[in-house]
Amino acid sequence: MLLSQRDLGALLLYFLTTVLMYFAATSNWVVTLGGLGLGGAAAVIAYRAFPYVQTRVAIWKNPWIDPLESGHQIVQALIAIGSGGLFGMGLGLGRPRNIPLYHSDFIFAAIAEEFGLVLSICLLAIYVLVILRGMVVAMNARTSFHSLAAFGIVAMLGLQTMLIVGGNTKLIPLTGVTLPLVSAGGSSLVSTFLSFGILLGISSLNAEDEAKDIERMELREEVFS
pLDDT tens-place string over residues 179-194 = 898 887 778 888 899 9
- 90: Cα separation from own chain's centroid: 26
Residue type, 185: G
* Residue 106 in domain: yes
Q: Which helix (H) or strand (E) holds 198?
A: helix 186-224
Task: Specify the number of domains making up the chain.
Answer: 1
Identify the sign of the CA torsion 95, 187, 134, 8: negative
Question: Would you state the pLDDT for residue 32?
Answer: 94
Whether the Cβ atoms of residue 172 and residue 60 lie closer than 8 Å to each other = yes
Question: Would you state the pLDDT for residue 21?
Answer: 94
Would you list the DSSP string of 19-82? HHHHHHHH--HHHHHHHHHHHHHHHHHHHHH-HHHHHHHHHHH-GGGSTTTTTHHHHHHHHHHH
* Residue 137 in domain: yes
pLDDT higher for 154 or 11?
Answer: 154
- Structural domain harbouring 201: 8-224
pLDDT tens-place string over residues 108-160 = 998 999 999 999 999 999 999 999 999 999 998 888 999 999 999 999 999 99
pLDDT tens-place string over residues 28-47 = 999 999 999 999 998 898 88
Residue type, 102: Y
pLDDT for residue 219 is more than 80? no
Per-residue pLDDT band for 68 (boundaries 50, 70, 90) equals confident
* CA–CA separation, 171 and 173 (whole Å): 7
* Residue 18 in domain: yes
* CA–CA separation, 35 and 44 (whole Å): 14
Q: What does DSSP assign to residue 96?
A: G
Average pLDDT over residues 5-20: 84
* Residue 2 in domain: no
* CA–CA separation, 201 and 47 (whole Å): 41
Question: Would you state the pLDDT for residue 84?
Answer: 87
* Residue 89 in domain: yes
* Residue 3 in domain: no
Q: Give the rounded percent of residues in the chain with a pLDDT score beyond 70.
A: 88
